[in-house]
Structure 1
Amino acid sequence: MNQFEMNLVAVGFFFLGMAALLVLVFVAVRYLDEIEELLSKSVYVSGNKKLYAPAGVIGKIMRICTISTVLTMPGVFARRRLVDVDQLRDFPNSIKRVLVGAWCTMFISSMVFLFLGSF
């Protein structure tokens, strides 16, 4: 694979990551309050809400990304008792798929972008 093809792949993954970020921004602006209400007993989520609430839209994006991390790796947060396991179990699968899918897409595209040396 020559340099042009590697750069083309990197640009493709960059735009894929940007699309996933736009999905998370939309969800953060539109549905964040409802999602945080579904995880209201979680210490981690309520702490992040207090921390990032004054930050405006950037704070909302940070909060939805931390919720996506919790939904991606629930065992880590449950072991440390930062989240309520019952609320995680009852979390709607449709929202979970969107958040986890967008978060994993951003992570994978970032890793590929860095792996190709196109930073």
Structure 2
Amino acid sequence: MSSVSLGLLGFFIGMPLIIILVWLIYMVHVYTEKAEALLSNSGFVKANFKAFDQAGLLGKAMRNGFITLVLINPDLLAKRGLVNLSEVKEFPRRIKRILVVSWGLCFLFTSALMVLGFYIEYVDKSAGV
């Protein structure tokens, strides 16, 4: 593949990733406290709040990411008594969708950029040598 096409591919992966990261900053700032209030009886959420409260925006992002993981797979934490399943089931679908889609898109585009970097580093260089 030529360097121009690889650069364009990187641009078309990188630009949405930058937009998603800006959205994540906004989303973390707005929805973290709302989500924690909706899961107020959860020991897992309380422990994460204690652990990451003093870490600023990065700590908020960690708390938000952990809440998203709880919403994706609540049964794992419910077996250990760390989350109340009734709270998770009553969690508003709109906020759940915002959290899961935002973090999912970030994961998807970051993975795509890593695969492209792997391709450029190992496959494309070995084919050109």
Give TM class, smaller chain.
Answer: 0.7 to 0.9
Per the alignment, residue 53 of structure 1 pairs with: 53
What amino acid is the match of 2:28? Answer: A
Per the alignment, residue 99 of structure 1 pairs with: 99
Cα distance, 1:87 vs structure 2:
0.8
Unmatched 5+ stretches in structure 2: 122-129
What amino acid is the match of 1:93? Answer: R
Q: Report which of the two structures shows the higher radius of gyration computed on alpha carbons.
A: 2
What amino acid is the match of 1:32? Answer: T
Cα distance, 1:83 vs structure 2:
1.8
Unmatched 5+ stretches in structure 1: none
Say if 1:52 and 1:13 are closer, same or farther in 2 by CA, change over 3 A: same
Per the alignment, residue 75 of structure 1 pairs with: 75
Structure number with the bigger relative contact order (C-alpha 8 A, sep ≥ 6) is 1
Using the size of structure 1 for normalisation, the TM-score is: 0.83
Deviations along 1:51-99, one digit per CA (max 9) or x if unpaired, are 1111122211221122122223333333443321111110001111111
Percent of residue pairs bearing the same amino acid type: 32
Q: How many residues align?
A: 119
